[in-house]
Chains A and B, each alone.
Chain A
Amino acid sequence: MKIDIILAGVGGQGILSIATIVGYAAVKRGMYMKQAEVHGMSQRGGDVQSHFRLSDQEIASDLIPMGKADMIISVEPMESLRYLPWLNPETGWLITNDQPFVNIPNYPDFDQLNAELGKLKNKVVINADQIAKDLGSARSANMVILGAASPYLGIPFEEIEVAVKENFARKGEDVVNTNIACLRAGREFAEKM
């Protein structure tokens, strides 16, 4: 089993904690993992991406070859489209937040952006910000996204839940519960589709 994921977003949106959680669950299952991150200048509000690879065999490259990614998981809609050259055009899934992060003057028209997302065959487009806010923590939108991606990860949902709990344990029970609720809400959204 092998799964290649491009994680996308804007610097500071928390894409790396998605990787940390899935990585924890995967390594616990004895899987191999490689994850190339972006640090430094680009983290200052620029576009950031992470190549995240899981496999039951040893992994060679830290970077995913173009056209071979099984999934794009994005916390920002325009950023999700930036990595389409990496997505497998037949079998690849795109899972993204539909709430734009506008920090540039020439951000595209929202309707046109949604139209582009609509053209894709396999997609989950979700208002993660709203769901997270309704559950009491606007900052946990990334966990909603992770929940929405979870049916396609090939890792039992319970194991992802355990990983979320472990990841937030030192922040106290309230934080753990909110993040688990966000994760489940994302999962339910994807399953209803």
Chain B
Amino acid sequence: MASIKVPEQKVILCGEYGVGKSSLFRRYAYDTFISSSSRKSTLGLDNFNKEYKVDDRSIQMQLWDTGGMERVASITSSYYKFAEAAILVFSLDNAASFHVLSQHLLEIVTYAENAKIFLCGNKSDLEGTTPQVTEADMENFCEQCHNLISSTYKTSCKTGEGVEEMFADIGRQLILSNRSRLELQTMGAGGIGTDSFKLGGRGSEEGEVAEPPCLC
């Protein structure tokens, strides 16, 4: 049966051990939360696909979770490779897990240079009245890294609060940022009997020669 291929977007989870990456994964994939009595550390790789729709556009969001594999560059780079989005996860009740994020950020910009980056404070149910990481801290972090962070979220995998909203929002942003690319593909396929769209072929209708990109 022929079906229109929905574009796949790889989304990776990054963050310290025990901040709840797998719990986010599990909430996203199965809408469940596993209490500490049967939780296990993640060894290796896990992934799960889910379709998101905005208007008439769909994408397959492919979420990747990892644990214990990231110690060497060759494995790290293949985990990050082709990621369209990366979620930096930390635990709101653990300041250390927040302060270490700049390292993960560095890896993302090194190995997945085109990925949109999101910041997620998990375990909001444990935040309490004197939070270990405040919203001001999160804002400062975003400023310090030159606004590389597209959005910030607070989630609780335990209660489910904010999780679906976060993934829906990330899905929406991915669709929007892909819209122009998708439209180019559609034009290319529908218009001139070829499925490749050549830059500069039809684009310069006014006869202009495209200027070389500025390198400043």
**Genuine A/B complex:** no
Which B residues contact A (CB, under 8 angstroms)? Answer: none
